[in-house]
Amino acid sequence: MPITDIPMRIMQKLLPDRIWELEQMLAARPDAVRAMAGSPERFEILAEAMKRGDRPPASRQAVPHVMASLFGIRQSLQSVDRNPATPRAHISEPELAELVGFARSAGVDSVGYARLEGDLVFQRKAVLHGNAIVLTMEMDKESIDTSPSERSFVEVHKTYHHLGRAANQIAGWLRERGYSAQAGHPLNGQALYPPLAQRAGLGWRGLHGLLVTPKLGPRVRLAAVFTSIENLPLAQENDHGWIEEYCERCKLCARECPPQAILDQPLVHANGLVTCIVSDRCFPYFVENYGCSICIRVCPFQRQEYSLLKSHVSERLKKSAG
């Protein structure tokens, strides 16, 4: 049974109609942050998966998480109408600490802050505010280490579900305290998360295009909450830039990618955004093999200590300088 056949009628109702309609309504708001010339196109992974007929057997364990994510996406868009008419714009340090504590209680691993510009908003999409609270959530290592498999597929969608729920909870927490907020769901969001998380100082983009974090490597999912808070403590620097040097020499993910979808040399666009993956190569294998995740599984950053890998780069740079 194809992966989307069980929830097909519900997915067709939730995704193409109501969710896309809500996205259009958000994009029509006069004060929204919109895409710029050169902003990326969103790859419509859910819609494209529904079109294909050569999908893997359905995972009964994954279906509830997929459905919960669809409801979560819809909730994230519908709930912007509950924002206060005159939202608060400044948060105190104690309240910000309380917010971080709430996020961690919801299962979030790390929290960062960044300014969202239109260059990271997908074409024909929009985001309510340019102030971003960026979130990461861990995926279970033992499950990801089985990829590509039904077990890893379930873990990915379980994390999408739980992180999406956390983002919606955080947005609700902010509204209760007088702030305006829009939850950016980790699945099918309106902005490109890896460079946003990099701007927030949470890690650095790897050769595979995923955010590499110091604690978990790329074994995380990303989300954001966009808010009216103007005084978020934005990251002033990012100490993880050396990861790019490591990836340039490693390239294990590119070698291990079955459809050879990871570019040996990422394409850097005029606006600074980077393309790491050839979607036309990646997606067919991805959808036929339980969402793949091989690039996450083989990445040294989720298998070895961050400090050890950093020391390797430091030693290499010292030798080249000497």
The pLDDT value given to residue 189: 95
For the chain, the C-alpha Rg in angstroms (whole number) is 19
pLDDT in tens, 140-155: 999 999 999 999 999 9
Residue 255 CA to residue 231 CA, distance in Å, equals 43
Q: Three-state SS for 145?
A: coil
| Percent of the chain residues topping a pLDDT of 90 | 78
Indicate the burial class of 20 (C-beta count within 10 angstroms; 0-12, 13-18, 19 or more): middle
> Residue with structure tokens 């100082």?
201
110 bridge partner residues: 136
What is the pTM assigned to this prediction? 0.92
Do residues 243 and 311 touch, judged by C-beta distance below 8 A? no
For residues 281-309, average pLDDT = 94
Highest average pLDDT, of 29-43, 162-176, 301-315, comes from 162-176
Closest by CA position to 224, among listed 130, 314, 301, 290: 130
The pLDDT of residue 6 is above 50 = no
pLDDT in tens, 77-129: 999 999 999 999 999 999 999 999 999 999 999 999 999 999 999 999 999 99
The pLDDT of residue 57 is above 90 = no
The pLDDT of residue 321 is above 90 = no
The pLDDT value given to residue 270: 83
Read off the pLDDT band of 60 (50, 70, 90).
confident
Side-chain-facing half-sphere of 56: CA atoms under 13 Å: 16
The pLDDT value given to residue 2: 36
The pLDDT value given to residue 48: 75
Closest by CA position to 126, among listed 223, 220, 32: 32
Among 53-67, 197-211, 227-241, where is mean pLDDT lowest? 53-67
pLDDT in tens, 223-245: 999 999 999 999 999 999 999 99
CA angle 200, 82, 169 (to 5 degrees): 50
| Percent of the chain residues topping a pLDDT of 70 | 90
pLDDT in tens, 273-286: 889 999 999 999 99
Give the DSSP per-residue string, 11-25.
HHIIIIIIIHHHHHH
The tokens describing 263, both together, are 């570019």
The pLDDT of residue 213 is above 80 = yes
Domain residues for the domain of 83 are 1-322
Read off the pLDDT band of 4 (50, 70, 90).
very low
pLDDT in tens, 15-40: 656 888 999 999 999 999 999 988 99
> Residue with structure tokens 């990303």?
222
What is the domain count for the chain? 1
Residue 171 CA to residue 175 CA, distance in Å, equals 6
Read off the pLDDT band of 195 (50, 70, 90).
very high
Largest CA distance in the chain: 64
Read off the pLDDT band of 312 (50, 70, 90).
confident
